Amino acid sequence: MSLQDLLAKRSASMRNKATSFVNKNPEAKKIGYFVYEKDPNHVKFMKLCEYLKEEFSIIQVTGEEICSGILESDGFDCLIIPGGYHVEHYKHMGGEEGGAAVRRAVNSGVGYIGICAGAYSACSVLPDEPIHSFCPTWNLLPQCKLKERQEPEYLWKRGMGECNIRLNKMGIDHLGHVSSDVKMFYRNGPCLEVLECECETSNECKAECHVLGLFDCDFDNENVKPGVLKNSASIVVGEHGQGKIFVYSAHPEASDPDVVVPMLIKSIRYVCTKNKLN
């Protein structure tokens, strides 16, 4: 291929990039993807679109738009809060105003998918817990907590790389994975625990949110306390009002597209419906 042909192909690729991909199927669910500023070259958004655009419409939404009520007024079925740095997410969402807007939307029935920093955003941190000074959360799942919430300093740089996650029976059943072990890419995701959850020991857990998978690994990092990541919750599902919530501490969208990405798609389908998990 000549240089001229390569440049023409590159130009065509750039023209195809957009801040929204609208599925022509009128029944397609409408997904909002949180960005600080709308950007047709947003790499994470483009990658996720490749996985989702055959089934969903996916549209970039800013914190200002979320605060204005766009998720409810424009009929979004789900909001995805991606990975990144939660402090920046919180700031660009408009602080507590943005958190209140997200809670209203989810309470009204808009689904929520939180990945890494998006999982941190969904959990519950109380004002009197030391970690609150690092960055408040949106308290979508009161029973879902950060394991290190009482530590005087939040050492979030835990590690990066492939990690092993152990699914329980509910996780296997509802994520459609054939075994209890699944590998996902991990990068400094939160260590979660769910209070009162008995999914590891009972098939009839009555908690308001459920652990579907636990980390079965740890990273050799002298800057963090060893053993905190292992056996912490990696995948949690729950509800807030009328809306359903799925959070991943790791990065399913950056993992095996043939094995893990279908699990993410199933999660999105679930939060976009009225079906009960158990």
Task: Dump pLDDT digits (tens) for 203-225.
Answer: 565 557 899 999 998 877 776 66
Percent of the chain clearing pLDDT 90 (strictly above)? 57
pLDDT of residue 4 exceeding 60: no
- Tell me what pLDDT residue 18 has: 85
The residue type found at 240 is H
pLDDT of residue 2 exceeding 70: no
Mean pLDDT of the chain: 85
pTM: 0.88
- Tell me what pLDDT residue 208 has: 73
pLDDT of residue 3 exceeding 60: no
| CATH number of the 3-271 domain | 3.40.50.880
Q: Which residue has the higher pLDDT, 239 or 18?
A: 239
- Tell me what pLDDT residue 228 has: 79
pLDDT classification of 155: cutoffs 50, 70, 90: low
204-242 as b/e, with b when 16 or more CB fall inside 10 Å? ebebbbbbbbbbbbbbeeeebeeebbebbbbbbbbbbee
pLDDT of residue 10 exceeding 50: no
Least trusted range by pLDDT, from 65-74, 89-98, 143-152, 264-273: 143-152
End-to-end, the C-alpha distance of the chain in Å comes to: 55
Task: Dump pLDDT digits (tens) for 22-78.
Answer: 999 999 999 999 999 999 888 889 989 999 999 999 999 999 999 999 999 999 999
Chain centroid, CA 73 distance in Å: 23
Rounded to whole angstroms, the Cα distance separating 213 from 205 reads 14
Q: Work out the average pLDDT over 86-90.
A: 88
Task: Dump pLDDT digits (tens) for 162-206.
Answer: 999 999 999 999 898 878 999 999 998 998 989 876 556 555 655
Q: Where along the chain do its domains lie?
A: 3-271
